[in-house]
Amino acid sequence: MGIFSKLGWFFKQEKKRYIIGITFLALTSLANLIPPRVLGLMAYQLDKGHVSWSEYAALIIAVLAAAFTLYILSYFWRKQIWGGAAELERQMRSKLFDHFMIMDRTFYQRHRTGDLMAHATNDVSAIQNVAGDGVLTLVDSLVIGLSTMVAMIIFVDWRLTIVALLPLPFLALGAWKLGDHLHDAFDKSQAAFSRLNNKTQESITGIKVLKTFGQGKEDTAAFDKMVDDTIKINKKVFVWDSLFDPLGTAIIGATYAITIIY
C-alpha cells in the first residue's frame, strides 16, 4: 500500500474522477451478482416445472437488462480509471523531462544514460499501472469479495460460506510470496534494461573508434550476449507473473471442491 500513499498527491488532484470511477466499478461488481442469481432461479423453476412462458420471458429480459447495465457501467468506470492512469503517466513523463532539463553536468556524470532511460520508460509505465490495474484490483477484490460473502450468507448458508472461505488464506499467502519473487525479478529486469541501454549508447557513440581498431565484430558479439541475458532475465519476470493466475484458479477449484464435498 506504500505506493498508493506516495501517489496520494495525484489521487487528491483527481479525486472527482476516481470517486466516479470507483463508484461505477463498485456498481459493476454488484451488478455481476444479478445474472447468476437470475439463472439460478430460472434453473430452480425449470427443475420444479412451475415456470410459465411469461415468467420465463421475464427472467430472460432480466438477464439481458443486467448485461446491458453491466456494459454501460463498465464503460464509465473504464473511462474514469483508465483515463486517470493515462493522466498520471502524462504528468509523470512531463515532470521527469522537466527535471532532466534543469539538471547540471554533474548529474549526468553520476547517472548513466541507461539508468535515466529505464526511469523514463519502464518505471513510469509501472507507476501508471498502479493508478489503473492497482485501483481496479483493490476495489474489485474488496467489493466482489464482500458482496459475494453477504449474498452467500443471505441466500445460501452461513456455514457453507465459512467452509468456502477456508482456502482463501492460502491464496493471500501464495500471492505474497509470488509478489516478493516478482518484485525481485522486476528489479533485476530493470537493471538489465539499464545495462543494455548503456551498452547501446556506448557502441553508437564510439562507433568510429570501434571501426578504426577493427573491434566491430567483438562489440556486436558482446551486444548480442547482453541482449540474450536481458531476454533471459525478462523471462523470469514473466514466469513469476504467469503463476498468479494458476494460483488463483487452483484455490478457487479447491473452494468449489470443498463446497461440493460439504
Say whether both 141 and 186 belong to one domain.
no
Of 108, 130, 156, which residue is a domain's last? Answer: 156
Query: Do residues 190 and 103 touch, judged by C-beta distance below 8 A?
Result: no
DSSP letter at 51? Answer: -
- Chain mean pLDDT for the chain: 83
Say whether both 125 and 224 belong to one domain.
no
* Residue numbers of the domain that contains 216: 157-262
Say whether both 108 and 21 belong to one domain.
yes
Mean pLDDT of the region 73-83: 90
Say whether both 91 and 125 belong to one domain.
yes
Q: Please determine, for residue 127, whether its predicted confidence score (pLDDT) is greater than 70.
A: yes
**pLDDT at residue 51, as a whole number:** 65
Alpha-carbon Rg of the chain, whole angstroms?
26
Say whether both 3 and 122 belong to one domain.
yes
Instruction: Find all residues with CB under 8 Å of 35, minimum gap 6, and list them.
Output: 63, 66, 67
What DSSP string describes 104-157? -HHHHHHS-HHHHHHIIIIIHHHHHHIIIIIHHHHHHHHHHHHHHHHHHHHHT-
Mean pLDDT of the region 99-103: 88
Mean pLDDT of the region 41-69: 78
Of 127, 156, 185, which residue is a domain's last? Answer: 156
Say whether both 123 and 161 belong to one domain.
no
- Helix/strand/coil for 8: helix
Say whether both 22 and 100 belong to one domain.
yes
Low-confidence winner among 76-85, 86-95, 154-163 (lowest mean pLDDT): 154-163
Say whether both 59 and 171 belong to one domain.
no
pTM over 0.85, yes/no:
no
d(CA 117, CA 205): 16
Say whether both 195 and 207 belong to one domain.
yes
Residue with cell 533471459: 232
**pLDDT at residue 231, as a whole number:** 92
**pLDDT at residue 232, as a whole number:** 92
Grid coordinates standing for 135? 485501483
Per-residue pLDDT band for 176 (boundaries 50, 70, 90) equals confident
Say whether both 107 and 180 belong to one domain.
no
d(CA 11, CA 92): 13
Mean pLDDT of the region 151-180: 82
d(CA 241, CA 122): 16
Of 156, 183, 202, which residue is a domain's last? Answer: 156
CATH number of residue 91's parent domain: 1.20.1560.10
**pLDDT at residue 72, as a whole number:** 92
What tens digit of pLDDT does each residue of 205-217 get?
888 777 777 777 8
What tens digit of pLDDT does each residue of 17-43 get?
999 998 998 888 888 878 877 777 777
Query: Do residues 113 and 197 touch, judged by C-beta distance below 8 A?
Result: yes
Say whether both 181 and 228 belong to one domain.
yes
Say whether both 84 and 3 belong to one domain.
yes
